Amino acid sequence: MEFKFEIEKRLDGTLGRAGTIHTPHGDIQTPAFIPVGTKATVKSLTVEQVKDLGAQAVLANTYHLYLEPGEDRVAKHGGFAKMMGWNGPTFTDSGGFQVFSLGAAYGEGVSKVATTEVLAAKIAESRDGEKVPRETKVKIDEEGVDFQSVIDGSWHRFTPERSMQIQHSLGADIFFAFDECTSPLAPYEYQKKAIDRTHRWAKRSLSEHTLLGVSHATGAQQALFGVVQGGSFEDLRRESARTLGAMDFDGYGIGGSFTKSDIGTAVRWVSEELPEDKPRHLLGIGEPIDFFYGVESGVDTFDCVTPTRVARNGAAYTVDGRINLHNAQYVDDMLPIDPEIKNYTSSFTRSYIAHLLRSNEMLAATLISIHNLHFVVSLVANIRQHVLNGTYFDYKRSFLKRYYKSVDYRILS
């Protein structure tokens, strides 16, 4: 089966829709949450566990797999999906996020989603101090980006063409154009300059992909998504979406930086400009609340490291909000992580998991990761189901009210 997107039902009064993405390795019922397996492994989980918790696809990373084990070795396996034993649909990110995480964000304590307070504080800070140029692992120019390896410090050149070549070797069903993920701290002038360059890179990505044809690793045709940027500036977001929307991509990624309380708004600007019949992936988002506003704003797929990362650090999602299983209150708690949610972890007590965490046992990461991924995967699956049933807004209200314990869940900093 080749790549195809079908919309089955729309969410009245919004840009939301439920549909199906067909890929050469299977279908994705959307909206869907895609677990992240950066280095061709969803950290601490086997692919059976990932499959069993309900995941439909996995997203890996170009920069990291390029560094190790290397694109040729992955291609020799027939692509990263085959290498890791995953037989469903796959995505790869282009390395565009590392332009940010190893560049503007490196050592700065900035994430792509910033609260307005953090934004204000950081901007004030940069005005006060005599800005000493920081050591980063990234150098950007018109042609591409020099990356310093986080493994051994060696330098590597990524261009849009290289990213496409590597991603053809990795063999994902859906992959992304090489972009620059910008910082939420970047001023308007920089964001403007960056989207113009990202658009030129998008065109080059598209040409290179056309030139390369099917993936030599898998023999299958891959779908290329352009990546919209523009920070939190409406005109730039719209311009980026319009420009890329006019190019012949198979779908679109929405990337870059956001303001925490207003992700939905920024995504709506973008969706209003993008072609309606192509799938939209919101890159690196998110939190439970983000799925609701994302879907209403026209997002079809999400990926995010949060469920697995916070799991490794002891935090678990529950219908009553996030809890930290490290906390003293759980050492004798005989309930499962979330008494209302049934999954593989349900038979274990919070007390046991607190013990595993405190004694640094690997199984803690595994169990909480299973739970958290199941939580978000099924949350987005539930959203899909309620869109199909026409009961979305009731579901949204009841979920958010409980999870955030606030009626005014829209105002979250």
Partner RNA sequence: GCGUCGAUGGUGGAGUGGUCUAUCACAACAGACUGUAAAUCUGUCGCCUUCGGGCUUCGUUGGUUCGAAUCCAACUCGACGCA
Contact set with RNA (CB under 7 A):
36, 38, 42-43, 59, 61, 63-64, 93-94, 96-98, 100-102, 105-108, 111-113, 150, 176, 179, 181, 227, 229, 253, 255-256, 260, 283-287, 290, 303-306, 308-310, 312-315, 324, 326-329, 331, 358, 360, 362, 365
How far is Cα 54 from Cα 375, in angstroms, rounded to an integer?
10
By beta-carbon proximity to RNA, the closer residue of 10 and 271 is 271
CB of 9 to RNA, least distance (A): 25
Phi-psi region at 13: left, alpha or beta (left = phi > 0; alpha = psi -120 to 50):
left
From 173, 179, 300, 303, the catalytic residue: 303
Residue 141 a catalytic site member: no
The encoded tokens of residue 83 equal 């290498």
Nearest to 179 by CA among 88, 281, 110: 281
Least distance in angstroms from the C-beta of 92 to RNA: 8
Nearer to RNA, 391 or 406 (CB): 406
| Closer of 10 and 111 to RNA (Cβ) | 111
CA dist 146 and 169 (Å) reads 20
CA–centroid distance for 161 within its chain: 22
User: Cβ closer to RNA: 16 or 288?
Assistant: 288
Cβ proximity to RNA: between 120 and 362 the closer is 362
Query: 93 catalytic, yes or no?
Result: yes
Candidates 52, 93, 179, 333; catalytic one: 93
Shortest Å distance, C-beta 388 to RNA: 25
Question: Does residue 89 have a cis bond before it (omega within 30 degrees)?
Answer: no
Nearest to 54, CA basis, from 255, 341, 351: 341
Measured from the CB atom, is 59 or 236 closer to RNA?
59
Find the helix packing angle between 188-212 and 160-170, rounded to 10°.
50
Q: What is the DSSP string of 215-232?
A: -TTT-S--EEEEEE--TT
Cα→Cα distances 152→67, 133, 166, 212, 217, Å: 10, 22, 20, 30, 27
Own/partner long-range contacts of 407-411 (Cβ < 8 Å, ≥24 apart): 409/289, 410/261, 411/261
Active site residues: 93, 303
